[in-house]
Each structure stands twice: as structure tokens, then as C-alpha cells.
């Protein structure tokens, strides 16, 4: 008997066999890889992945689902809130199959952005990510400068990942159907830009997009002046969405060199990840 979806966990179980097969083909797991699935639910994606890789790890908060999944040979179940899972330590331990982690998941839409930023903190131990998200979020992740979808989320993910939307998925593919369209995206980590301090970049980008309708002179210009970096040559007569990821990275590196500590002052220091962009 299939366990019912629980609203408090934001559960929408994928049931469309065609979509499931397309995701598995996109992931293309191999034996020995350190595969980790977030939110396996009833195991629709888990089981075909497990057949191909032999062993894997899943992170599931729902204790009823976790108990059922534990009966499956080759499956290691971590019963926990994904935001409390130390993926850096998991990667350092070699995952369930050695090497960097390959992350898969139909992420709970109500906390998808915090999960993405939580994974970003462990990006150096991740080989790739294939995740299902609300299509609107995927559009923002992959957005190019100049459009309404381009924002803090775009910059803070694109600086460490190549973002590739793969599959669009309608509400009818789920039980129960969500009220939004969904999409699967591939996220492939890339090296960090030289000289960029992540918390400083996070603060800089947050300030830049804090008032989207204003030109940067009124937001980022003041922020730069407060750090004694007001004389940096940067086009502040633009709006935040007109600045490319590369330009934000270059500015962060320049500000880091121009300030005494090379990073954001402790009183204003922010992590990369609990704030919704």
C-alpha cells in the first residue's frame, strides 16, 4: 500500500514513468559512484537508480517513508532534515561509493532555495546535481543578465555551477499534483573564481539586488563607499540585473583586495544560504 503524501512535508510524489525514465537516463549512474538522493519519497527514482549503481544513500525526513526504504538492500537511509546534513563530511568520507557526491532529488518546493544554498556550501565535494524544482526557480537559476528572472539566485549559483535545464514536467506527473509547473536541472560544479571571498560576494550581491528598480549608485555605491572602496571603477549607473556574473566576481575580488581584511566585516557578515534570494 502506497503511503499518502503529507502536506507538512510539502510532498508531491513523482509517478510519471516517462519522466522517471528520462531523469534516470540524464543521471546515468554507474556502479561505485557516490550517489545521494534527497527526498526519495516512495522510491520512484530511487529504485531504478539503485538497479544501475548497486548501492546509494538517501536523505529522508519522513520517518514512515524512511522505515520502508530501510528494507531495501543496498540502500543507506539517513533520516534527517536535509538542511542539517553535513554534505562536506559526507563527501570527505567518500559517500556510499567513494569519490565526489552525485546528488539527485525531487526537492521540497517550500525549501528548495535553502537546500540549493546548503549544497553550495559543499560544492567542492560534489560531482554534479540533478534536481527537480519549481520551473520558476529553474528559470531564475539559469537566467542571463538583462531579464526579470536574473537575480541574486542566478549570480550566487552560476558563479559555482554550470546550469542546464533538462526536462519540463507538468503537474499531472505527480501525486498529488502541485499547482505549479516543474523542471529538472543539471548543475555541474566549476572552480571558484580566484580571489573571491564567498561571504563578501554574498553580501555584495545581496546589496546590489536589494532595490532592483534603483540604479546601483544608490545601493552598491553606498556599500562600496562604506568600505573605503568608492573609487573602484565600476559602472554604477546600471541596475543590478544588467551586471553579468563575471563582473560581480571581478568586483568582489577587487573589493577584497581594497579592504583591510579582504572580507566582509564580522558585524555584517552573512552565510550563503538561509535567506531567500
Domain with 100 in it: what CATH number? 3.40.50.150
Mean pLDDT value of segment 196-222: 96
Percent of the chain, pLDDT > 90? 81
Residue 164, all three cell numbers:
542546464
| Residue 64 and residue 136 in one domain | yes
**pLDDT tops 90 at residue 266:** no
- What is the pLDDT at residue 264? 45
What are the φ and ψ backbone dihedral angles of 72, each rounded to 5 degrees? Answer: -90, 120
Confidence of residue 61 (pLDDT cuts 50, 70, 90): very high
Residue 97 has pLDDT above 90, yes or no: no
Whether 180 shows a pLDDT value over 90: the answer reads yes
Give the pLDDT confidence score for residue 93 in this predicted structure: 85
Give the CB-side neighbour count of residue 67, counting CA atoms within 13 A. 4
CA angle 19/21/23 to nearest 5° reads: 70
Is 51 part of a structural domain of the chain?
yes
For residue 216, the enclosing domain spans 198-268
Which pairs with CB-CB distance under 8 Å and at least 24 residues apart come from 232-237?
232/258
- What domain count does the chain have? 2
Q: What percent of the chain has pLDDT over 70?
A: 88
Query: For the whole model, what pTM was predicted?
Result: 0.88
Domain end residue (candidates: 189, 218, 251)? 189
Amino acid at each position: 500500500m502506497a503511503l499518502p503524501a503529507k502536506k507538512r512535508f510539502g510532498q508531491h510524489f513523482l509517478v510519471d514513468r516517462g519522466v522517471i525514465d528520462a531523469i534516470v537516463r540524464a543521471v546515468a549512474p554507474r556502479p561505485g559512484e557516490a550517489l545521494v538522493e534527497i527526498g526519495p519519497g516512495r522510491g520512484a527514482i530511487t529504485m531504478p537508480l539503485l538497479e544501475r549503481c548497486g548501492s546509494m544513500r538517501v536523505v529522508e525526513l519522513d520517518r514512515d517513508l524512511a522505515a520502508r526504504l530501510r528494507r531495501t538492500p543496498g540502500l543507506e537511509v539517513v533520516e534527517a532534515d536535509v538542511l542539517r546534513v553535513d554534505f562536506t563530511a559526507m563527501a570527505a568520507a567518500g559517500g556510499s561509493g567513494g569519490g565526489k557526491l552525485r546528488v539527485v532529488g525531487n526537492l521540497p518546493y517550500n525549501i528548495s532555495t535553502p537546500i540549493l544554498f546548503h549544497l553550495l556550501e559543499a560544492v567542492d565535494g560534489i560531482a554534479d546535481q540533478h534536481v527537480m524544482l519549481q520551473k520558476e526557480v529553474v528559470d531564475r537559476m539559469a537566467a542571463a543578465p538583462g531579464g526579470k528572472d536574473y537575480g541574486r539566485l542566478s549570480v550566487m549559483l552560476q558563479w559555482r555551477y554550470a546550469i542546464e535545464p533538462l526536462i519540463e514536467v507538468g503537474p499531472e506527473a505527480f501525486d498529488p499534483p502541485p499547482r505549479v509547473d516543474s523542471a529538472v536541472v543539471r548543475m555541474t560544479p566549476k572552480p571558484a573564481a580566484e580571489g573571491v571571498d564567498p561571504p563578501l560576494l554574498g553580501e555584495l550581491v545581496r546589496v546590489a539586488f536589494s532595490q532592483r528598480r534603483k540604479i546601483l549608485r544608490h545601493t552598491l555605491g553606498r556599500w562600496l563607499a562604506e568600505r573605503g572602496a568608492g573609487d573602484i571603477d565600476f559602472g554604477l549607473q546600471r541596475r543590478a540585473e544588467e551586471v553579468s556574473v563575471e563582473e560581480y566576481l571581478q568586483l568582489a575580488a577587487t573589493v577584497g583586495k581594497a579592504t583591510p581584511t579582504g572580507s566582509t566585516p564580522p558585524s555584517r557578515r552573512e552565510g550563503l544560504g538561509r535567506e531567500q534570494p
